[in-house]
Structure 1
Amino acid sequence: MSGELGPVERFLRREKYFGVPRWVVGGVLVGVIASVALVRGQVTTTDRVRAAVEGFRHSSVYVEPGAPPTVNAEHVRRVLGDRPIVVAILNGEPMPPSGKSLVTAGLKLCDDLASLVPTNLVIVYGNEPGKGYNPAFCVGPRFNNEDHPVNASNFDFVLIAKAESAWKYRESPTDLTPQVEEYVLAYDAQAAKDYPDSVPRRGAVPDKLATGEIVLSLGGIVAACVALFFLLHLAARAVGRRGPRSRERLETEARLSRIGEYVLSADPQDANQAEVARQYVLALQGHESGANVRRQVDELERLVR
């Protein structure tokens, strides 16, 4: 008995599952697991982020169609020069929530942009749900890099606080441009301390934004093809099984119908009539519930001969 395989081992050693070769089932499972892992690990690029990053290829300022005139884009371009700062001026469409309680929608979008222009500081102007049209500031993940090593935290909250203390006296609801001006002045002051030899310039935008997405799409296509083959195979088997079953069911219904006619027309005083009627009712109930009543029907036909 010690050499007998358990139910789990017997299941795993099957050559086929649901009539499908084991390797196909395994391929489907691997494809699904790999696709889920890729989706979880891959940060997808939204159309809005993609458009902004493409705009940064040609200018330090991207203006989304329909953006309000509260930030003077041309003036901001002149102020920024070739500093490692990019600004996205979005329209009034509310930014989607981040899904995190401590991360605003603007900061989430800013981080998404910064991940694609990683050696730059990023400013995003957009409609924050419940807060109105405001800026969000963030630091690219590679702002501190081997070419220009620096303490990136010096250009984060500390820099924003210094700039805000100055712009609050100059900004207005219809003119937010002073925010960028004061931010640039604060950046210059900090850069003079942190970059005594060589101040960094604006980093280039990567040529290929969606390499990971292309890989993910190709993987998804392959997994979908395998899964489709698997489902079609199961459907074909189901249809193949359904044909004989349907014919058998129709045949059983016809036989039960003939027996029913006998039960209704037979002499009630017949000694076998009560037993035939009882078995007929049981067989009919079983047939309607989907059970195989072939043996009961055979017995009924024997009784009514």
Structure 2
Amino acid sequence: MMSNHHQSVMFNESIDALNIKTDGIYIDATFGRGGHAQGILNKLGEQGKLISFDQDISAIECAHKNFTDNRLTLIHSAFSNMLSIITQQGLIGKIDGILMDLGVSSPQLDNAQRGFSFKADGPLDMRMNQTRGISAAQWLKSANEKEIANVIYQFGDEKKSRHIATKIKKYQQNHTLETTLALANIVSEVVKGQKNKHPATRTFQAIRIFINQELKQLEDVLKQSKDILSKHGRLSIISFHSIEDRIVKRFIQTNSRQKTLPKGLPIIEHKTEKTCLKDLGKHFASKAEISSNARARSAILRVASKN
């Protein structure tokens, strides 16, 4: 049974991209509220299997309440641990497809207590896995002005990152920065709002990415996927901002482009290295989907298969 609290972006496109075999083994790397997982299960036969990862314990708890399918295995872990877990299960090279829906799910954004939202007040947490690591508030308290500015610029493409960092440290001289609205108000004093975009969007994105090490985890799991996937196994990856998409694009292009091996050794001279992946292109949400789901506006789906 699927929870209806989250509207999965490019639902049909991302699942169709997996080219699902009824008896195949698939991975949903970001379970969320189970939208894509249910879509995959609907296409699997009795012998098919789905392994779902999520580092958010609330997502795992929701899955246990709403899913009773014995073809589904739930893993409470960051997807960057995928290789070791799949190795333990004896499934290396046997996975027919991996689906990744990156970013924050609607239930996480809607729950003010998680600290992701700049529209509702709550504790400044931002951890995907609240059982590990430090919160955004703790990091902002310990980090210096330069560190904060670098994170906001690097992971948020925010041009006014230095001014924001200065404002944050100045605020902390007389106040404890512990809530989302307090941070959002600080940023709003520096950054002008745009149509359909809150002034704090980039800053919140950047701090969230840093706190959860999202880009490092993405890079790790992409590298691991080359060993995890079976021959002709598919990658179906939805990203929601340009930094993530650049990483996915670069990974697919690098591993689908033939390279001439070094000359000088007679055995390999003039030969080319076989590519690992085949780039199957990118897709965008339809105008109809964008009109009904604003999250779809920035989404990019990239697809590849293992040679």
Question: Shorter-normalised TM-score: what interval?
Answer: under 0.3
Select the structure with the greater relative contact order (CA < 8 A; seq sep ≥ 6).
Answer: 2
TM-score by length of 1: 0.25
Kindly indicate which of the two structures has a greater share of residues assigned to strand: 2
TM-score by length of 2: 0.25
Kindly indicate which of the two structures has a greater share of residues assigned to helix: 1
